[in-house]
A = this chain, B = another copy of it.
Amino acid sequence: MTTTEAPPGSLPGTARAARPQERTAQRRRAILDAATRVFGERGYNNGSLVEIAEIVGITHAGVLHHFGSKEQLLLAVLAHRDEVDIERLATQQRPVGAEFLSHLVATAQANTERSGIVQTYAVLAAESVTGDHPAQEFFRGRFAVLRGDVADALGLTVGAPASDERVVAAASAIIAVMDGLQVQWLLDAETVAMPDTLRFVIDAIVESLRRSVAATP
State the A residues within 8 Å of B (CB): 40-43, 45-46, 119, 122-123, 125-131, 136, 139-140, 143-144, 147, 166, 168-170, 172-173, 175-181, 183-184, 186-188, 191-193, 196-198, 200-201, 203-205, 207-209
Contact = CB atoms under 8 A, between A and B. Distances in A.
Nearest to A192: B172
Contact of A176 (B128, B169, B176, B196): B176
A79 to B, nearest CB: 18
Given A136-B187, A139-B187, A130 B200 contact: no
Copies in the complex: 2
Given A130-B123, A177-B177, A196 B183 contact: no
A99 to B, nearest CB: 21
A65 to B, nearest CB: 26
A187 B138 CA distance: 10
A176 B191 CA distance: 13
Contacts of A187: 128-129, 136, 139-140, 143
A56 to B, nearest CB: 20
Contacts of A122: 126, 129
Which 8 residue pairs spanning A and B have beta carbons closest together?
A176-B180, A126-B126, A204-B208, A45-B46, A180-B180, A179-B180, A129-B186, A204-B204
Contacts of A177: 173, 176-177, 180, 201
